[in-house]
Amino acid sequence: MLVEPPPSLRYVSAPRLPRRAQAAPFWRRVLPLLAVLAAVTRIPSFRLPLWNPDEGYLAVQARILAGGGTLYGTVVDRKPPLLPWLYEAAFALCGDDSLRPLKVLAVLAQLTTAVLLSAIARRRWGDRAGRTAGVLYLLASIGLNPEDAQAATFEVFMLPFTAAALWCADRRRWAGAGAAVAAALLTKQTGGAVLLPVLWLLWHTAPTRNALLRTAVGLTVPVAAAALLTTPTGFFFWTVTGSGAYASFTGSELHVLVRALTNTVILTVACAGLIPPVLRVLRIARTGAADLWLWLASSAAAVVVGFHFFGHYYLQLIPPLVLLATAALQILPHDWLPATVLTSACACALFLAWGLLAPRPELAHAQRLAEAVRSRTAPDDRVLVWGIHPETYLFADRTPASRFLTAGLLTNYSGGRDGPQVGEKYAVEGAWSLFREEMAERPPDLIVDDSRGKPFAPDRIPTLRRLLAGHYTERSTVDGAVLYVRSPGG
């Protein structure tokens, strides 16, 4: 049986609760609990040198930037600059031989997200809700394939900013809300989805020109600064306008839909404790927590944008879902709370075990290939790895011969396509002209064809095929990857 919803569920923004003398004791009890949970749930992230190619890409980018390179110039990616800069700073402080400092920062990012969600819930529904939200978030935060949930990559560092945006908007701190949206956006473009619930709260709690202006200034100043610190044209091209083929659904419909269904099922298992209370009080919670529903809907739209449905995209659904579940638990009978926490803990244990036991054959391949590259080149030689594993450069400690660290930007394969829209004509506009210039000005000392039968193999890429045929000789193979050295006089 449902109980009468508290006032905070009937209205858009909860009435400000009186400041309690117990605020400090609350956080003294809750923070250690959340810190332990954050550390335990992230233990698998320290098990391997890295979990997915994004970590390798970021690490290689950071090394290039530390060596005087420029983002969107001598090294390029579709992502905004905040996380490459964070990797660069971490390497400058701690050295670039390990990603452990970034993994520690990922633990702190998850803890920060949990604390902010706890603060939002506590302000709206009281101490018990605050504890509940923080705990439920951390239990659900690893509920995907470990290579998506345990990697120190974009979504993990984006989520604290999205939670901070709602935290600020809930307190009518509009400049801070805008700045938090900007930080989320500068970590990954889809972080901008949190702007919708922020604007909704602004419209319903402080619909003034001054509030809107402060939000706009908070949002635009950091984005403009980031553009100026890189190059405005390069920034907007690589992060906004240069990804038309990447965002296309045509050609790989079944492949993409299977991935979408698979990752949706995985996240549903992870959220087995959160979904039932939300569904049970769907009508009441949706009416009284409209900003949270809008946050969930905008996050879902962000997952769909681009039609790739990679597992890590789904991470941004978890914070709004946690708050919706916490809101629902304020209405449901008290015995729903222990059942929700227990179910979430069991699901968390399942994904924790997955992270501790999951094999990573592609990581072992990249390490063996890197050893072969290192043994066949000098430290100052330049290498081109034609594949989708930029971590090979990292493990081999060799300088990439191109600003394009994978074959993805040159073929669209990194967009998760299974063949029909992979090839030179689907590359980022102007990419092949830049690539040809790089190969002509300073040819690689070693080229590694790591396509291993994938749709971007050299026999399907005319420019690369001609380069290999005219100037390189096959030297050896490693796990199916082919190593080419420059021909005499090539």
Tell me: the pLDDT tens digits for 59-70?
999 999 999 999
DSSP 71: B
Residue among 81, 307, 302 nearest 196 (CA): 302
Q: What is the pLDDT of residue 24?
A: 82
Domain ranges (residues) in the chain:
22-357, 361-486
Phi and psi at residue 182, in whole multiples of 5°?
-60, -45
* Helix ranges (DSSP H) in 271-425: 275-280, 282-288, 290-304, 318-329, 336-357, 361-376, 391-396, 408-411
Residue 64: how many other CB atoms lie within 10 Å? 22
The pair of three-digit structure tokens given for residue 259, joined into one six-digit string: 């991935």
CA distance 186 to 103: 20
The pair of three-digit structure tokens given for residue 368, joined into one six-digit string: 């063996």
DSSP 447: E
Tell me the C-alpha to C-alpha distance, in Å, between residue 111 and each of 46, 75, 135: 16, 31, 10
Q: Which residues pair with 483 in a beta bridge?
A: 448, 476
Q: What is the pLDDT of residue 252?
A: 72
Q: Left, alpha or beta for 412 (phi > 0: left; psi -120 to 50: alpha)? A: left
Per-residue pLDDT tens for 315-345? Answer: 999 999 999 999 999 999 999 999 999 999 9
pLDDT at 80 over 80: yes
Average pLDDT, the chain: 92
DSSP for 429-441 reads TTHHHHHHHHHHH
CA distance 197 to 323: 13
Q: What is the pLDDT of residue 306?
A: 77
Q: What is the pLDDT of residue 457?
A: 96
Q: Which residues pair with 481 in a beta bridge?
A: 478
Phi and psi at residue 473, in whole multiples of 5°?
-125, 135
Q: Among residues of the chain, what percentage have pLDDT more than 90? A: 85
pLDDT at 17 over 60: no
* Helix ranges (DSSP H) in 67-143: 82-94, 100-125, 127-140
Residue among 432, 424, 427 nearest 415 (CA): 427
Q: Average the pLDDT over 110-133 and give the result.
A: 98
More confident residue, 152 or 282: 152
Q: Average the pLDDT over 427-433 and give the result.
A: 95
Residue 487: how many other CB atoms lie within 10 Å? 12
**Which contiguous run of DSSP H or E holds residue 52?**
none
DSSP for 214-281 reads HHHHHHHHHHHHHHHHS-HHHHHIIIIIS-TTTT--TT-HHHHHHHHHHHHHHHHHHTTTTHHHHHHT
The pair of three-digit structure tokens given for residue 223, joined into one six-digit string: 């984005």
Q: Is the Cβ–Cβ distance between 323 and 133 less than 8 Å?
A: yes
Q: Is the Cβ–Cβ distance between 461 and 425 less than 8 Å?
A: no
The pair of three-digit structure tokens given for residue 370, joined into one six-digit string: 């890197």
Strands annotated E in 382-469: 382-386, 399-400, 446-449
Q: Average the pLDDT over 414-442 and give the result.
A: 87
Map residue 473 onto helix, strand or coil.
strand
Q: Is the Cβ–Cβ distance between 448 and 387 less than 8 Å?
A: yes
- Locate tokens 């079944």: which residue? 254
pLDDT at 416 over 60: no
In this prediction, residue 12 has a pLDDT band, given cuts at 50, 70 and 90, of very low
CA distance 159 to 115: 12
Per-residue pLDDT tens for 233-254? Answer: 999 999 998 876 566 666 678 8
First to last CA, the chain: 79
Per-residue pLDDT tens for 354-363? Answer: 999 999 999 9
